[in-house]
């Protein structure tokens, strides 16, 4: 009788231990299924960036967000600030479908930009690749001061003071009969010069632009006339504006309003 009971107990213990293998197999299958699930990804990029108003300094950025976030999602525009060594939000826009348009007013500059979109389930936050952009803005020729001035025949190159001409663009150029007058400015980072000229001389004068001391363009002006002298100055780092007498009774006298298109 004792042998029969021992045999029955042994059979029962063996039968209880057998189901352990399927449980391990189920755990293994569950782990594989979780690892196969991937988190959805949203991408952001700047599709275009340009200066849309060089007088006011307006930059317009168009971004693409894929897939499209919720309508009206706030999308910041970041600018890298080298002096602070960090990104700074300078403007923002609101998404419309998969697109966003952002405008900001900035001084002339060469800076790096990016856009970003916050997390929206099931998507994590996304940041666009960086884009370096040269932003050219019109500024007064004399905003950064003059490097030098000179000429012949008691030359006078007088820039209108800030309280009267805050744009720092206006000046009067005079010299004696037969003389000439010039002034130099640092034009590094500039690509175009636009000059309004008003000839108050009682005769004929020549107004010219120079790359250093080498003339690059000029115009003749009759007595009491107005004109424009505009020129591409890409690569010119020392720009000279000069007025010379050709034929007059009292000497050259020209008023100017001069602007430079620059990134600084």
Q: Give the CATH number of the domain where residue 179 resides.
A: 2.60.120.680
Co-location of 247 and 150 in the same domain: yes
Which pLDDT band holds residue 39 (cuts at 50, 70, 90)? confident
For the chain, give the number of residues: 264
Could you read off the pLDDT of 132-158 as tens digits, one per residue? 999 999 999 999 999 999 999 999 999
Structure-model confidence comparison of residues 25 and 14, the more confident one: 14
* Domain-terminating residue out of 135, 167, 200: 135
pLDDT the model gives residue 206: 98
Do 199 and 165 share a structural domain?
yes
Tell me, yes or no, whether 7 lies in a domain: no
Encoded tokens for 100: 């966003």
**Higher pLDDT residue, 221 or 7?**
221
For the record, the structure tokens of 124 come out as 């994590």
**128-143 per-residue burial string, b: 16 or more CB within 10 A, e: under 16:** beebebebbbbbbbbb
Q: Using the predicted structure, report yes or no on whether residue 68 has a pLDDT greater than 60.
A: yes
- In-domain check, residue 30: no
Confidence of residue 37 (pLDDT cuts 50, 70, 90): low
Confidence of residue 186 (pLDDT cuts 50, 70, 90): very high
Quick one: pLDDT at residue 207? Answer: 98
Is 161:145 a contact under the CB 8 Å cutoff? no
Query: Do 159 and 255 sit in the same domain of this protein?
Result: yes
The average confidence (pLDDT) of the chain is 89
Q: Within this chain, do residues 201 and 228 fall inside the same structural domain, yes or no?
A: yes
CATH of the domain at 53: 2.60.40.10
* Residue 129: inside a domain: yes
Residues 127 and 166 in one domain: no
- CA torsion sign, 165 to 168 to 169 to 170? positive
| 179 and 238, same domain (yes or no) | yes
Answer whether residue 115 is part of any domain: yes
Residue 9 pLDDT > 60, yes or no?
no
> Does 213 share its domain with 245?
yes
Q: Is the pLDDT assigned to residue 165 strictly greater than 70?
A: yes
Q: Are residues 120 and 79 in the same domain?
A: yes
The b/e string for 218-250 (b: 16+ C-beta within 10 A; e otherwise) is eeebeeeeeeebebebeebeebbbbbbbeebee
Residues 66 and 120 in one domain: yes
pLDDT tens, 242-263?
Answer: 999 999 999 999 999 999 999 9
Would you tell me how many other CB atoms lie within 10 Å of the CB of residue 105?
12
Number of domains in the chain: 2
Q: CB neighbours of 76 closer than 8 A, spacing ≥ 6?
A: 89, 91, 92, 115, 116
The answer to whether residue 15 scores a pLDDT higher than 90 is no
Q: Which domain holds residue 117?
A: 43-135
The CA angle 158-161-164, to the nearest 5 degrees, is 120
Decide which of 75, 104, 135 is a domain's last residue: 135
Same domain, 146 and 227: yes
Task: State the pLDDT at residue 3.
Answer: 43
Query: Do the beta carbons of residue 179 and residue 173 sit within 8 Å?
Result: no
Residues 67-73, mean pLDDT to the nearest whole number = 97
Same domain for 182 and 121: no
Count other C-beta atoms under 10 Å from residue 118's C-beta.
Answer: 13
Give me the pLDDT at residue 12, please. 37
Q: Which residue has the higher pLDDT, 238 or 15?
A: 238
């Amino acid at each position: 009788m004792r042998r029969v009971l021992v045999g029955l107990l042994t059979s029962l213990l063996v039968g209880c231990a057998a189901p352990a293998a399927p449980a391990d197999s189920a755990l293994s299958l569950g782990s594989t299924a979780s690892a196969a699930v991937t988190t959805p990804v949203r991408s952001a990029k700047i599709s275009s960036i340009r200066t849309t108003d060089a007088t006011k300094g307006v930059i317009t950025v168009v971004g693409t967000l894929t897939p499209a976030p919720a309508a009206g999602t706030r999308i910041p525009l970041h600018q890298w600030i080298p002096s602070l060594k960090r990104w700074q939000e300078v403007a923002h826009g609101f998404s419309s479908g998969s697109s966003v348009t952002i405008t900001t007013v900035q001084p002339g500059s060469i800076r790096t930009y990016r856009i970003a979109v916050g997390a929206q389930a099931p998507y994590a936050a996304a940041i666009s690749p960086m884009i370096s952009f040269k932003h050219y803005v019109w500024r007064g020729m004399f905003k950064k001061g003059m490097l030098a001035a000179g000429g012949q025949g008691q030359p006078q190159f007088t820039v209108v003071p800030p309280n009267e001409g805050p744009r720092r663009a206006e000046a009067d150029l005079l010299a004696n009969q037969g003389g000439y007058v010039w002034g130099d400015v640092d034009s590094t980072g500039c690509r175009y010069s636009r000059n309004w000229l008003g000839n108050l001389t009682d005769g004929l004068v020549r107004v010219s632009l120079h790359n250093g001391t080498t003339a690059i363009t000029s115009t003749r002006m009759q007595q009491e006339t107005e004109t424009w002298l505009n020129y591409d100055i890409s690569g010119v780092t020392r720009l000279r504006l000069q007025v010379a007498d050709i034929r007059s009774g009292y000497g050259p006298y020209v008023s100017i309003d001069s602007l430079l298109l620059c990134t600084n």
